[in-house]
C-alpha cells in the first residue's frame, strides 16, 4: 500500500520523499523545473481552473469545494491511478499554504 505524504513544492527533495507529485493546476511561481525535481504533474487530478477561481472567491465554503472537487476527481480515474502507482511513498506537493485540495485528494486516494 502506498504511503502518501504532503509537502511544499518549494522544498528540496529529501531521501524520504519517494515520488514527488505536483498537485496544483498552475506551476508554482518562481520555481524552476530543476528545483522542483518532480516525478509527475497529473493536471487532471488537480482542481479545474473554474473550481480554483470559485474557491478563491469563496474560501469559507470548504465543504462545497470538497464536494465539487470530488465530483471532478470522479472523472480522473487515470490520473488517480497514476498517483497511486507512482511508488511506495508518494509526496503530494503544493505551492499554496492552505492546500485544502490536498486534503480532499488524500481522502479520495485512501478510499480505494
pLDDT tens digits along 22-42: 999 999 999 999 999 999 999
**Rounded distance between C-alpha atoms, residue 37 and residue 33, angstroms:** 6
Measured distance CA(16)–CA(112) in Å, rounded: 24
* Residue range 3-28: mean pLDDT, rounded: 96
What's the pTM value of the predicted model, to 2 decimals? 0.93
Band of the pLDDT at 103, cuts 50, 70, 90? very high
Q: For residue 111, what pLDDT is reported?
A: 87
Confidence band, pLDDT 50/70/90 cuts, at residue 98: confident
Decide if pLDDT at 112 tops 80.
no
**Residue in the block written with cell 498537485:** 23
Walk across the sheet containing 19-22 and list its strands: 3-8, 89-94, 19-22
* Cβ(79)–Cβ(42) below 8 Å: yes
Q: Confidence class of residue 96 from pLDDT cuts 50, 70 and 90?
A: confident
Amino acid at each position: 500500500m502506498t504511503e502518501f505524504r504532503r509537502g511544499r513544492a518549494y522544498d528540496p527533495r529529501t531521501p524520504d520523499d519517494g515520488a514527488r507529485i505536483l498537485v496544483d493546476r498552475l506551476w508554482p511561481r518562481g520555481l524552476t523545473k530543476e528545483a522542483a525535481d518532480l516525478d509527475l504533474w497529473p493536471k487532471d487530478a488537480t482542481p479545474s481552473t473554474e473550481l480554483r477561481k470559485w474557491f478563491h472567491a469563496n474560501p469559507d465554503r470548504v465543504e462545497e469545494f470538497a464536494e465539487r472537487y470530488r465530483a471532478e476527481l470522479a472523472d480522473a480515474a487515470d490520473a488517480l491511478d497514476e498517483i497511486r502507482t507512482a511508488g511506495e511513498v508518494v509526496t503530494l506537493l503544493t505551492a499554496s499554504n492552505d492546500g485544502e485540495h490536498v486534503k480532499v485528494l488524500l481522502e479520495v486516494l485512501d478510499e480505494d
